[in-house]
Amino acid sequence: MADGCACDRHVNMYLTVSEAVQRGLSVAHPVAETETLPLQQAIGRVLAEDCSSRVDMPAFDNSAMDGYAIRTRDLGDGPVFDLPIGGRVAAGDSGAHTAPVGSVLRIFTGAPIPPEFDAVVMQEDCEGSADHIRFTRRPEPGQHIRRAGEDLKAGAPILRRGCEIGAREAAVLASSGHGHVSVYRKLKVTIFSTGSELRQPDEALGPGQIYNSNRYMLLALLDRPWIKLTDRGPIADDPALLKNVLREACETSDMIITTGGVSVGDEDHMPRLFSEIGGETDVMKVAMKPGKPVMFGRYGDALYIGLPGNPVSAFVTWRVIGSKMMNRRAGLRDTPLVSEQAVLAEPLHRRAGRQEFRPVRIEGSTSGGFPLLRLLAASYSGRVALLAQADGLAIIPAETEYLPEGHVLEFHRF
Ligand SMILES: Nc1nc2c(c(=O)[nH]1)N[C@H]1C(S)=C(S)[C@@H](COP(=O)(O)OP(=O)(O)OC[C@H]3O[C@@H](n4cnc5c(N)ncnc54)[C@H](O)[C@@H]3O)O[C@H]1N2
Ligand code: MOO
């Protein structure tokens, strides 16, 4: 259906997107258990402790250049400075070097600055021979010296708990002497796709059958080092079967994610089955497009989210609501979706009521440097091909009915 439909007539009874996110987050608690791992095994995991530096960074005054360490007080009036080379110090040396008064030390990047030396002249600025150098520009005291603790002092905070240990975090943990870190244990996540119509992409399709795309979309979205994933594949719309799989998943997982079966049709079993196994359910209609029906559930410590079956709806509800719940459950700090401003390349007409996450393509940029957005079809909740063509989602506020060409709006880039 083009611009909304009569199915939105109860929209004032729906939750707003931010209410739905708050409701989801209110039931998502970080896993309690942590483990201490060697840093190399903690890459990609979620840090479970606040960390401070164990050393000054850098730990000692050292040379920023390959060149010659000098004592500026040894220099005469110039304009040419001509000095003998009285020793050599390289990275890894102790730095307890001396050299006769009036001489310089050959020095390399990262080497400690020996006592009394207070500047480095880079070798490109020198002429000379194996035992002598000559240069003309008088160095300032401190030139090309990286001072102990200038990056960070010992004891200063480096990372807060709840971050994912990526490249930058791993580098600072290592630099500050953290060979082992405490991380949250992996989150046990089970997924399955409900629907008797679903076939695997390499099977032949019979009448009424479709390929299961949600399974693979979720596999990609959940391919994180802090997740221990159990993939139960597709499960037919058979209540007894679904109930068994659901119960087992709830008993063995921290989080269960399913697609399909959360709306109001006779084959939409998930809310009822979740109650029947003894879970608490919260079935919601959210004033968002796509992705109106979403279901949360709790079974003991296990957290359940039932995403709508339509693939674009499942993708968007996962991004906007589900991923935030999962991140919190895994111990990650809140990770707001990064949005930017963009400009509409064409006018937009729509029915007000639901906040919309509309697939868009970037068609160039404005003279002010904003991305210029071409809106993709108004009806798209089942259109995976269209999602694959999109560069991101334009965020259209719930109350909006019309936006002129050139309007600035929020945009989530993929
Ligand atoms: N009377 C009403 N009908 C519907 C409503 C409503 O409010 N009242 N909401 C509509 C909206 S909006 C959505 S979204 C869907 C959500 O329904 P379900 O979550 O119960 O999903 P299904 O009915 O199981 O499937 C919907 C659609 O998606 C296809 N599908 C399902 N799983 C997959 C998969 N793994 N891969 C690819 N495609 C999948 C399925 O074949 C259906 O076409 O309900 C509307 N109806
Ligand atoms: O909201 Mo449904 O998710 O529009 O297709």
How large a percentage of the chain has pLDDT more than 90? 86
Over residues 315-332, the pLDDT tens digits come to: 999 999 999 999 999 999
Mean pLDDT of 250-277: 92
Compute the radius of gyration of the chain from its Cα atoms. 31
pLDDT of residue 268: 86
**Digit-coded pLDDT (tens) for 12-27:** 678 999 999 999 999 9
Q: Say yes or no: CB of residue 6 within 6 Å of ligand 1.
A: no
Q: Which atom of ligand 2 is nearest to the CA of 381?
A: 5
CA 393 vs CA 339, 352, 410, 414: distances in Å: 9, 18, 9, 8
For 314-385, list the strands marked E by DSSP.
340-344, 348-349, 355-365, 371-375
- Between the CA of 234 and the centroid of ligand 1 the distance, in Å, is 15
pLDDT tens per residue, range 24-50: 999 999 999 999 999 999 999 999 999
Rounded CA-CA distance 100/184 in Å is 56
For 59-69, b where at least 16 C-beta lie within 10 A, e where not — what string? eebbbebbbbb
Task: Give the per-residue pLDDT at 235.
Answer: 97
pLDDT (0 to 100) of residue 8:
61
Element housing 8 (H / E) = none
Residue 4: the pLDDT is: 41
Confidence of residue 7 (pLDDT cuts 50, 70, 90): low
Query: In DSSP terms, which residues pair with 199 in a beta bridge?
Result: 211
Q: What's this model's pTM, rounded to 2 decimal places?
A: 0.90
Query: Do strands 132-135 and 81-89 pair parallel, antiparallel, or not at all (unpaired)?
Result: antiparallel
**Averaged pLDDT score across all residues of the chain:** 94
308 lines ligand 1 (CB under 6 A): yes
**8-state DSSP, 319:** I
Residue 2 pLDDT more than 90? no
Give the percent of the chain with pLDDT over 70: 97
Using the predicted structure, report yes or no on whether residue 180 has a pLDDT greater than 50: yes
CA of 115 to the centre of ligand 2 (A): 71
- For the cut 50, the answer to whether the pLDDT of residue 5 exceeds it is no
**Taking residues 160-176, what's their average pLDDT?**
97
Q: What is the pLDDT of residues 134-143, one digit of tens each?
A: 999 999 999 9
Q: Which atom of ligand 1 is nearest to the CA of 237?
A: 24
List of domains in the chain: 6-33+186-330 (3.40.980.10), 36-52+160-184 (no CATH), 62-146 (2.170.190.11), 340-413 (2.40.340.10)
